[in-house]
Structure 1
Amino acid sequence: MTITTLAKLSALLEKGSASSVELTQDYLSKIENSDLNAFISVDVDASVEQARKADRSRQTGNHSKLTGIPVAQKDIFCIEGTQTTCGSKILENFVSPYTATVIDNMHSHGIVSLGKTNMDEFAMGSSNENSYFGSVKNPWSQETQTLVPGGSSGGSAAAVAAQLAPAATGTDTGGSIRQPAAFCNLTGVKPSYGRCSRYGMIAFASSLDQAGPMTHTAEDAALMLNAMAGFDAKDSTSLDVPREDFTSLLDNSLEGLKIGLPKEFFGEGLDSDIATLIENAVKEFEKMGAIVKEVALPNSHLALPSYYVIAPAEASSNLSRFDGVRYGLRAEGYTDLNDMYEKTRSEGFGDEVKRRIMIGAYALSSGYYDAYYSKAQKLRRLISNDFSSAFEQCDVILGPTTPSPAFEAGSRTSDPVSMYLNDIYTIPVNLAGLPAASIPAGFTQSGLPAGLHLIAPYLQESKLLNIAHQYQQVTDWHLEAPKSIAETITGGAK
């Protein structure tokens, strides 16, 4: 089956072989007929109207490469007049009065929003089993077992993998773009911290959250990032740097590229099939003229404990705003203000969110701040320093995205630590604020996708995408679709 890329759709629209309305209606039909539970909400009339506007823009010549292309949006981004739930009961009936800057940027390029994708509640999870609106099914699920799509951007990943959308937005706090991309055979990019505005993106951990694209190819990811990124005065952490064309380096040769392999990423706990696939990928890079050497990230084992102090601490602060007073759910039958707070938050938050709020509140409490939160921040600096030292010896760091392929739904919900270990390779990148990508690297013996993890120095997204794109010119893993989807999907967008 032919994978539908943004680049192909852009060419179709440019030639006049299809209209935005036709493409949008085709995808909306696929969404309606899907059983993956990848979407929380879809506004058919709004999407079609955006498509009509895009078609008019193309007719007048006032358009970008992505004008008229439909894209799915993770339900963590506010869109004015649209239900925005963040996968939580507490925001089930919340209609946003404004639009996130990332979405505004995309709309200014003429991109059509298809709908809001399912996600782990408040982006807390690695399997998309924590959503109030139900679990998402991985399109790569087999007849004998239902697999998770990864999280928290599992709805976006499933939607793109199943070709319910050609691309989608995601957010990445500790791996929430890259891990589901690996589980669903996609290209997922976490940009440098500050590259994409966080304004209008419901906060989980403010010093770690970052928006990014989920696509089939690195070229598509570059096109998406062109539309998403940019300085925003409404976000105090937004980077005021010159606007960049992330497609500009895609065709550069990798001759002489220095690739670092951290020995810490290839030890105990890594699935043997995935290790073999990463080794094969390294050989492909060597054929292209890259130089491979071992590097050290000696403090990477501290990333997981550091993250699970910092992220819950910031979450406990950010989520204190959801109290039943200003917006969202308000419990009934309360006796006083404190009782309303307790009942609203007890009824409105799921178990994983409550768990992280409590951990965070404890870490920030009097007498424990220095022992936990302050210490975790010091460890974060050590981890960042490790990357700086490694990049003195190499241009990019390579490894597996996840220690295992997608796992069976329900198999890890009773063991939070086992679930957290899914992000062992991705979390260090968020702590250091670096750009990173997961790209398809092949399939295990049981036929499940594996992700290749690429990490670049700060603000070197163009170089990162160049490396990913060149790998995709000599491999075709990214063009593989789930068998069930390949057998059933039909329509005009091919």
Structure 2
Amino acid sequence: MEPRSIAQLSVLLQSGALDPVDLAQQTFEAIRSHPDTAIFITLLEERALSEAQAARRRFRDGRSLGVLDGVPVAWKDLFDISGLPTTAGSRVLAVAEPAKADAAVVQALAGAGMVSVGRVNMSEFAFSGLGINPHYGTPRNPASPQGEHRIPGGSSSGSGVAVAAGLVPVSIGTDTGGSVRIPAAFNGIVGYKATRGRYSMDGVFPLAKSLDSLGPLCRTVQDAVWVDAAMRGLPVSGGQARPLPAELAFVIPQTVFFDEAEEGVVAAFETAVERLAAAGAHIRREPFPEFAELFALMARHGALVTAEAFVVHRDRIFGPEAARMDQRVVKRTTLGEKISLADYVETLNARERLIRSFEARIGPGDILLSPTLPHVAPPVGPLLEDEDLFFRINAKTLRNTLVGNFLDCCGVSLPCGTGADAMPVGLLLSGPRGSDDRLLAGAATVERLLEG
């Protein structure tokens, strides 16, 4: 199935050149015939065909709900779907009580006419940036060299692969430390992490509530703009992303983000920067001591995500269910037991101070510009064989993106070329909390400039 954006599908659907029921059936045929059976955990064929038939009736009656009507969407296995248990990429929740209602954002996109085709794979309980899952399999990064299985990135692994492979135009993920932006970068697609709280979290299985956020993985920034509006229950227009009201201004951090970065990643990033500068963008480079202090804080008091994940899973990891979980998830979660209440409160207090300091430094019109990740997607095999390597690469993979979660930023990862072995490299645009509209407009402009 040829990869198509929401915009491309919408034109066909709205013009009558493509029937929404035919599109849904083609989508399921493509999923079933795809060689990678680890992408989807649950298919929602009955529901999807019912939603597609409703879209068909609306089109025939001239009552289209807008640009998203009839367009397929996949959901990370953290979102409640009425009548099904929410398994969060884990076997232990397969017998959980079925959800009584769809998650709020699932309802919102259904209200815009989107067709939910299934739930996709993920790192168990969303607690890894690599996307490896021993229970449902690890989706293969479609950009992997022939004969290789490169990691998809996590924790929204299935979301990234489903879009990159062209099975769906958009999949909704969650992002606690990079789980939307990481798979977007590794798979060469667009990933938008919204400011925490921009969407309702009702019906979304948590990892760390002080950090959890949501966002779409898709093919273009325009697609993300439309889905963002629908997820907030706003009208979705057919217009283009709002242009920036002023000249583009970027600041490149000289602290942390380039440490141990691969040569190919830096080269792809700098090429993108040169193109933006040639187009007239204002770019400066500046140290951000807040970033170094953030990691020193984590080393001293422990990570917020670990403390909060421990509370969520405490009974599980000390009970019989632990034996049926990914032992790397158990090991990482158990570390939260060592984080005291004093450590946790001190971290929260320091977090607010660092957010204020960062926001004062970056300025109201600036967008932070950096590599999404310091490396391209590595092969799966060595990570499965060497636990120390797994944890080391996981920490490195999460490093750049978790800064945005801790500082409550919004972020967009765009493809910006390739690095070693022709694997995708991501360009990360980040903005202070609440600057989502301006960030999306900036990302749309950068996307156009990079495409030439």
**TM-score, normalisation: structure 2:** 0.92
Query: Is residue 2:419 matched to residue 1:444?
Result: yes
Which residue pairs with 1:350 in the alignment? Answer: 326
- Deviation (angstroms), 1:319: 2.5
In 1: Cα distance, 2:219 partner to 2:179 partner: 16
Deviations 1:438-489 (A, max 9, x none): 0001112521100000001222222111122122223349xxxxxxxxxxxx
Please give the alpha-carbon distance, in whole angstroms, between the structure 1 residues aligned to 2:278 and 2:169.
31
> 2:92 is paired with a residue of what secondary structure?
helix
**Distance (whole Å) between structure 1 residues aligned to residue 344 and residue 17 of structure 2:** 56
| Larger displacement relative to structure 2 (190-199 or 87-96) | 87-96
Letter in 2 for 1:203: P
- Of 268, 272, 279, 1:277 maps to 268
Q: Decide whether aligned partners of structure 1 residues 264 and 422 sit closer, same or farther in structure 2, where only a CA change above 3 A counts.
A: same
State the Cα distance separating 1:257 from its structure 2 match. Answer: 1.9
Identity of aligned residues (%): 29
Structure 2 residue 16 is matched with structure 1 residue 44: no
CA RMSD of aligned residues (A): 2.3
* Deviation sequence 1:42-70 (CA, Å, 0-9, x none): 12222111111111122231412101101
Q: Is the 8 A contact 2:257 2:400 kept in 1?
A: no
Q: Write the distance in 2 (CA, Å) between the matches of 1:132 and 1:266.
A: 33
Structure 2 Cα separation of the partners of residues 433 and 77 of structure 1: 22
* Contact 1:40-1:118 within 8 A present in 2 as well: yes
Secondary structure (helix, strand or coil) at the match of 2:243 reads coil
Alignment correspondent of 1:383:
354
Letter in 1 for 2:11: A
Q: Deviations over 1:279-323 (max 9, x none)?
A: 111122222321011233212134456565211111121224759
**Residue of structure 1 equivalent to 2:306:** 312
**Cα distance change on mapping 1:131 and 1:387 into 2, 3 Å:** farther
Whether the aligned pair in 1 keeps the contact of 2:67 and 2:238 (CA below 8 Å) is: no
1:406 and 2:409 matched: no
Residue type matched to 2:259 in 1? E
Letter of the 2:88 counterpart: C
Moved beyond 4 Å, runs of 4+: 243-249, 304-308, 320-323
1:221 paired to 2:224: yes
Q: Within 5 A, what are the aligned runs for 1:196-345?
A: 196-229=199-232, 250-252=241-243, 256-304=247-295, 306=297, 309-320=303-314, 342-343=319-320, 345=321
The superposition leaves residues 239-261 of structure 1 with CA deviations (integer Å, 9 ceiling, x where unpaired) of: xxxx5879877252586221111
Quickly say closer, same or farther: Cα 1:51–1:246, change in 2 above 3 A.
closer
- Determine the C-alpha separation between the residues in 1 that align with 2:360 and 2:155: 30
Kindly state the Cα deviation for residue 186 of structure 1 after the two structures are TM-superposed.
Answer: 0.7
Alignment match, 2:27 = 27
- Among residues 440, 460, 463, which one is paired with 2:438 in the alignment? 463
Shift of 1:394: 4.9
Distance 2:382 2:394 in 1: 9
Contact 1:249 1:466 in 2 (8 A): no
What's the counterpart of residue 422 of structure 1? 397
Residue 183 in 1 paired to residue 186 in 2?
A: yes
* Distance 1:245-1:396 versus aligned 2 partners, 3 A rule: farther
Q: Which residue is 1:120 aligned to? A: 123
Q: Which digits, 9 at most, give the CA deviation of each residue in 1:188-221, with x for residues without a partner?
A: 0010110011110001101111110000110011
Q: Which runs of 5+ in 2 are unaligned?
A: none
Q: Partner letter of residue 41 of structure 1?
A: T
Match in the other structure for 2:337:
361
Amino acid at match of 1:360: G
Contact 2:272–2:450, Cα closer than 8 Å, also in 1: no
How many residues end up aligned between the 2 structures?
442
Which amino acid in 1 is paired with 2:196? Y
Task: Decide whether the 8 Å contact of 1:249 with 1:462 is kept in 2.
Answer: no
CA separation in 2, counterparts of 1:260 and 1:247? 32
Equivalent in the alignment of 1:67: 69
Amino acid at match of 1:438: S
